[in-house]
Chains A and B, each alone.
Chain A
Amino acid sequence: MRNGVAKEVIAMKKNKSLLVVALVFGVLLAGLAYAQAAGYAENGAIASVTDTITHDNVRTVNVEIATALPDEPKQLPIYRVTDANVSKCEAIAIAKEFNFGTEPKVISYPVQPGNALSLLKTKYLFKNGSCYIEIDASSRAVMYGNSDKMMRVSNNLPSESDAIKMAQKFLKQHGISVNNATIEAETIFLNKLDTSTNEILDKKPMMVQVRFKRYVDGMRVMGAGGKVIVTIGDDGEPVYFLKNWRTLEPAGTTDVIPLSAAIDKLKRLEVKDVPLTPIRSIEVIGINLGYYGDIPSEEQTSYEPVWVFDVKTPTSTETIQLCVDAAT
């Protein structure tokens, strides 16, 4: 190579290097400007992080994180369910606690009728006049009701605070312990509504629903499980009772997936209970860890942690909780 040519090559290389540096700098500046415009922020204390990714595929959703990011534990405890598969004899013993002495009707039904491979579920039904009690064989869930007294207008309905005391007394009388729970009460009314004016003409109290919501290790149990409901009717009489509260024992720990992986699952709507509403985008306004309790007919063998996203959609006014499996 001649010297002159070599100098030209070196000069071109220098120019190219400068060009590359300038391009990289420009890209960084543009990225920063975009990030600011898109709302990115790096305030660890009160983070308002926006993470908007648009997908063309209708089965993924845009997720905007608008809340502080929680700590990410590497591991959390898991629990074994100890009281699945209730026998008929056990069901009779449970029913006796509620003064049902008759032989139960054993109800078996397929989870998916028409599918020859479908599992069969079983529950035990005891009846005594207008009162009934059902015990789910898969979960030991108990449902008691007095069909003549549920959903009836009450002339002497206790206050919500009195109803809580009555519910607690009812549970104590039947030897039911609901430790680590929050308690809420809600009066249920029968409303008389004029459909032509949308005016409520009358509002009659019927029952007070008292809910005990379960926590495990200070974390909320999500889903339909992990709750006890005592519904108080006229003159303070318990007219409905539901217990879906599985007995747990420690079963070691599990690794917890990183929050970023959970958010990726959220974007693909890989959640425990997909709502029956179309979702294009969601705004996450809270992130927590919890456990998941299943419906009474589900034979759940363990309680494992879930990431719980409190979300709002553009068309929802209420907050929806979407749970993503947190165990690896």
Chain B
Amino acid sequence: MLVFAVLCLAHPAASYDDDLTAEYSVTTLDDYHHIQDFIPPYGANYVYPKTKHWLCNEVPYAWDEAFYKDNDTVLQTHFGTQTSGDQGLDEADYHIHCGHGGEDLITHEREICLFEWNFGAEDHNGLTGDLAWDEVYGKWELDSEWVFIYSCSVLKDSIGKWGAALNEAHIILGFTTGVPPNYGILDTFYSQLIDSDNTMVNSYYATTTSAFPDTVKAAAIADTEDQFYHDHLWNQGEVMPDESPNDNIVWYAEWSC
């Protein structure tokens, strides 16, 4: 940790990590109570181990794991819905979530489906039903920099709504259309970030265009224009400063894969 702290301060980056510790967190859902499961479990078999492998074994200084939760242990609070106490993903620099994204048939909002998700029949206020944009609005202000939502259509028609979560966090990566699970996407993404020292948004562009057919649309939302252009993974290049105070402006691009 001391080495990381020295590196962060010595590195010619425009910013430093909020708590001087590079941390990642992961949530995956393969198993659901009311809807289709992923068989074999894509999140547990690939998303989590690949994230851990690349961020612990393939970087000069291993990242710490803040938490990994799966299936019925994934709670709304893991997405940083609280501004005190357990702040979930907001206590880690990078978070990846993989699981179904769906439209709530009552609110017609795109949301992340948790274990008890049931097309709107779930308890919206329950901890394991759904996660909608309004539950993280303006909430990511602690340690979070980058959040990758690997789910169908969560950003569809709601880039501004989810973008509003970026209080002091930097970038959300996600999809505005349906997207299939893909075994190679995370290797390409982490290799772009780590081996090629590419920026977060460039890496995501290269990853999504190589991994999916052109019917899939990806989007990257940054809190500031500089973050959009320049943010790298910690120790792989520049990271731009957090935005403070929050100006309610986000910068985004959307493209066909």
Contact = CB atoms under 8 A, between A and B. Distances in A.
Interface residues of B, number: 75
Contact of B36 (A58, A184, A295): A58
Nearest to A138: B184
B196 A125 contact: yes
A302 interface: no
Contacts of A321: 213, 215
Interface stretch (B13-21, B60-68, B85-93, B101-109): B101-109
Given A59-B36, A151-B199, A224-B211, A109 B180 contact: no
Contacts of A111: 183
Nearest to B100: A278
A295 B213 CA distance: 9
Nearest to B113: A278
Contact of A242 (B52, B161, B209): B209
A42 interface: no
B101 A109 contact: no
Interface string B129-172: 00000000000000000000011110000011101100000000
Given A189-B253, A192-B249, A277-B153, A145 B180 contact: no
A275 B181 CA distance: 7
A193 interface: yes
Nearest to B197: A147
Interface stretch (B1-9, B42-50, B71-79): B42-50
Nearest to A198: B160
Contact of B101 (A115, A147, A276): A276
A315 B49 CA distance: 32
Interface stretch (A12-20, A77-85, A205-213): A205-213
A247 interface: no
Contacts of A150: 202, 205
A209 B197 CA distance: 22
Contact of A276 (B163, B178, B251): B178
Interface string A229-269: 10000000000101010000000000000000000000001
Nearest to B46: A112
Interface residues of A, number: 69
B170 to A, nearest CB: 15
Nearest to A274: B180
B215 A318 contact: yes
B249 A195 contact: yes
A195 B205 contact: no
Contacts of A114: 49, 52-53
Contacts of B32: 278
20 contacts: A58-B36, A109-B54, A113-B49, A113-B50, A121-B187, A125-B195, A127-B196, A147-B196, A188-B254, A190-B228, A193-B160, A211-B256, A224-B257, A240-B205, A272-B180, A276-B98, A276-B150, A277-B151, A278-B102, A316-B178
Interface in B196-212: 196-199, 201-202, 205-206, 209-212
A80 to B, nearest CB: 22
Residue of A113, A127, A150 with highest tally of chain B CB at under 10 A: A113
A144 to B, nearest CB: 10
B36 to A, nearest CB: 6
A125 B206 CA distance: 14
Contact of B181 (A121, A201, A273): A273
A28 to B, nearest CB: 37
Interface string A127-165: 100001010000001010101001110000000000000
Given A186-B256, A278-B117, 16 more contacts: A111-B183, A121-B187, A145-B198, A150-B205, A188-B253, A191-B253, A196-B248, A201-B249, A209-B255, A274-B181, A277-B101, A277-B102, A278-B32, A278-B35, A297-B184, A318-B177
B94 interface: no
A58 B210 contact: no
B250 interface: yes
B161 A105 contact: no
